Amino acid sequence: MAQRYEGGCMCGAVRYAVDAAPLNERVCHCRSCQKAVGAAFNARLMFRTEQVTMSGPVKTAFSSPGVKRGFCAECGTTVLSGRESAGVLAVTSGSLDDPGLFRPTMHIWVSSKQPWLKLDDGLPQFAEAAPA
Confidence (pLDDT) at 64: 83
- Give the tens place of pLDDT for each residue, 60-87: 998 888 899 999 999 999 999 999 899 9
Confidence (pLDDT) at 132: 78
CA distance 100 to 74: 26
Q: Which of 3, 63, 2 is nearest to 38 (CA)?
A: 63
**What CATH number did the domain enclosing 19 receive?**
2.170.150.70
Is residue 15 included in any domain, yes or no? Answer: yes
Is residue 130 included in any domain, yes or no? Answer: no
Is residue 120 included in any domain, yes or no? Answer: no
Q: Which of 106, 79, 121 is nearest to 24 (CA)?
A: 106
- Give the tens place of pLDDT for each residue, 86-107: 999 999 999 999 999 999 999 9
Number of domains in the chain: 1
User: pLDDT: is 64 or 16 the higher one?
Assistant: 16
Q: Range of 33's domain?
A: 5-112
DSSP-derived 3-state class of residue 60: strand
Cβ-based burial of 84 (10 A; exposed 0-12, middle 13-18, buried ≥19)? exposed
User: pLDDT: is 106 or 2 the higher one?
Assistant: 106
Residue 1: pLDDT above 90?
no
Q: How confident is residue 13, by pLDDT bands cut at 50, 70 and 90?
A: very high
